Amino acid sequence: MSFKVEKINTQPFSDQKPGTSGLRKKVTVFKQPHYLENFVQSIFDTLKDCNGQTLVLGGDGRYYNRQAIQVILKMAAANGFGRVIVGAGGLLSTPAASCLIRKYQTLGGIILSASHNPGGENGDFGIKYNINNGGPAPEQFTGAMYARSREIDVYQIAVADDIDIDRPGETSLGDMTIEVMDPVADYAELMTTLFDFDRISDYLKTGSLKICIDAMHAITGPYARAIFEQSLGAAAGSVIRAEPLEDFGGGHPDPNLVYAKELVELIYADNGPDFGAASDGDGDRNMILGKRFYVTPSDSLAVLAANADCVPGYRDGLAGVARSMPTSQAVDRVAEKLGIKSYETPTGWKFFGNLLDAGKATLCGEESFGTGSNHVREKDGLWAVLFWLNILAVKQKPVADIVTEHWQTYGRNYYSRHDYEAVESDRAERLMQQLRSTVTGLPGKTFGDYQIEYADDFSYTDPVDGSVSEQQGIRLGFTDGSRIIVRQSGTGTEGATLRFYYERHEADPAKQNLDPQQALAPLFEIAEAHMQIQENTGRDRPSVIT
């Protein structure tokens, strides 16, 4: 198909600064004339030389996904790309996109997703660029993209009919080849090289493990059906809400106890499944449940690290582990016992990329329901589920037993996150500024039975390239190892989201069965006394507690 290149005059938008996972805005914002095109051209201009290069393109299927793909394909052709690999139907989970970038050694990929944010015509949309290692673009690149978006005055686009992206195969747009691929096949093949599918399948066939995977009407439905029901032989219907829908069925595709209510009710029912898991909009997050038992993401990372020898792909040992700063220190205790390094990074998967590329870390995780490894450069929800199933098939014990035995060995890190969503931006900024102004005077101060050992605004120096990331969250560390952390999230699209994290270690097995909200109550009181959360947010309770 031949085409003519149009150069469209435009004006910059002032709000195209990428957050921790790209640019996320309301659909109505992206549908403004030139808005999407400006940002895409800013990506291509930052890349500088796109001629003859290969790009991966796909998204989580939310509203506006298909329209945006047509725009990006035409702009890619106009900017000289030689090939674009597109998931059939415009669908690609984020970890699958990372897999394709790495397998086919492409220049990078554009992923269309707002992850766990709601979808639909009045919902959210997002776009991010992943570099040639398969991981999110680092801050230096996204900073250059933003700078370009502030001065852009023209973009290039092909004048051509829309491309059929539903049928696998190749088509041409001028000199550019568009290859529509099965979005599942390459990712599913990669999983077979890491996990013992035969052992998992045999265990499922014994009937000892009934599973339920909640795809939340998001991207992982086709992946989960292919892997769990078809390859592993789980019972038909083990994957629920499996059809990807543009509005996620009216739900909120965030895998936690609040938004995965249907799965939680099933797992806590008398005749419920033995194992449950949920994933998010783009497939990079996971929630793990046993029968009437919730596994925190921090504990999940620690358990995977401690039991990596159960899994073929990790049996030779871990080079190291990495966690985001707000994630509990549970995995640090495992690393210490294994004699490996544990790295503490800012929030955002891009900070793990250098550690993985340099061979310093093998497993990574964030408290926000993200876990992954060096197999791709994104967090990976279904990978985490397979890791758990492989452990269960080897140990043949319930999830609750595996976790409680882990606590008996390493101690339990009581942990909770309190989210205050859509807080007025000026209120949120005022609270953060107040905290920054007080941290230097806090060490040595006592709050009840707790004494502050250190207090700071977390700064990270990358051990590989020496880059520095500042103001990554306020930390209050106590002499007994407890922590209170406060940071402003970069994933919301309305107002500001403030996140408060609380952690306390308990070594005594006799005291490891408390409700986390009860165990952490003294830390809640300290946070309120020092930070005046209710007054500063205007809220008398969090929006979400996990």
In this predicted structure, what is the pLDDT of residue 322? 98
pLDDT tops 60 at residue 491? no
| Least confident interval from 319-333, 347-361, 390-404 | 347-361
Among candidates 519, 527, 470, which has minimal Cα distance to 501?
527
Region of residue 80 (phi > 0: left; psi between -120 and 50: alpha; otherwise: beta):
left
User: In which band, very low, low, confident or very high, does the pLDDT at 350 lie, cut at 50, 70 and 90?
Assistant: confident
Q: Which long-range CB contacts under 8 A does 13-19 form with residues at least 24 apart?
A: 13/38, 13/149, 14/150, 16/42, 16/146, 16/149, 16/150, 17/146, 17/149, 18/128, 18/137, 18/142, 18/145, 18/146, 19/490, 19/491
CA atoms within 13 A on the CB side of 402: 30
In this predicted structure, what is the pLDDT of residue 3? 81
DSSP 481: S
pLDDT tops 70 at residue 54? yes
Alpha-carbon span 78 to 166, nearest angstrom? 22
Alpha-carbon span 382 to 275, nearest angstrom? 14
- b/e map of 55-77 (b: 16 or more CB within 10 Å)? bbbbbbbbbbbbebbeebbbbbb
CA distances to 137, 201, 293, 467, 506 from 308, rounded to whole Å, are: 29, 19, 21, 31, 24
% of the chain at pLDDT higher than 90: 90
Alpha-carbon span 394 to 512, nearest angstrom? 25
pLDDT in tens, 184-222: 999 999 999 999 999 999 999 999 999 999 999 999 999
In this predicted structure, what is the pLDDT of residue 546? 83
Residues 6+ apart with CB under 8 A from 430: 536
pLDDT tops 80 at residue 20? no
pLDDT tops 80 at residue 492? no
DSSP 297: H
Alpha-carbon span 305 to 293, nearest angstrom? 20
pLDDT tops 70 at residue 166? yes
In this predicted structure, what is the pLDDT of residue 189? 98
Helix (H, G, I), strand (E, B) or coil at 488: strand
pLDDT in tens, 212-261: 999 999 999 999 999 999 999 999 999 999 999 999 999 999 998 889 99
Among candidates 389, 95, 382, 393, which has minimal Cα distance to 214?
382
Q: Which residue is associated with the tokens 């504990």?
A: 299
Q: What are phi and psi of 216, to 5 degrees?
A: 55, 30
Which of 42, 113, 115, 373 is an active site residue?
115
| Two tokens, residue 338 | 């294994």
Q: For residue 330, how far is the Cα from the chain centroid?
A: 19
115: annotated active-site residue: yes
- Domains for the chain: give ranges and CATH numbers: 4-183 (3.40.120.10), 187-410 (3.40.120.10), 412-545 (3.30.310.50)
Alpha-carbon span 242 to 223, nearest angstrom? 9
- b/e map of 166-201 (b: 16 or more CB within 10 Å)? eeeeeeebbebbbebbebbebbbebbeebbbbeebb
Residues 6+ apart with CB under 8 A from 227: 188, 191, 382, 386
Q: pTM score > 0.75 for this model?
A: yes
Helix (H, G, I), strand (E, B) or coil at 85: strand
Give the end-to-end CA distance of the chain in Å, rounded to a whole number.
51
Q: Which residue is associated with the tokens 């009581």?
A: 414
In this predicted structure, what is the pLDDT of residue 203? 97
Q: Name the burial class of residue 368, with classes exposed (0-12), middle (13-18) and buried (19+) by CB atoms within 10 angstroms of its CB.
A: buried
Among candidates 265, 264, 270, 212, which has minimal Cα distance to 241?
212
pLDDT mean over 82-97 = 98
Alpha-carbon span 478 to 466, nearest angstrom? 28
- b/e map of 28-37 (b: 16 or more CB within 10 Å)? ebbeeebbbb
pLDDT mean over 445-472 = 94
In this predicted structure, what is the pLDDT of residue 235? 95
**Is the separation of the CB atoms in 316 and 337 below 8 Å?**
no
Q: What are phi and psi of 251, to 5 degrees?
A: -95, 180
| Two tokens, residue 406 | 């882990």
In this predicted structure, what is the pLDDT of residue 493? 55
Q: For residue 106, how far is the Cα from the chain centroid?
A: 22
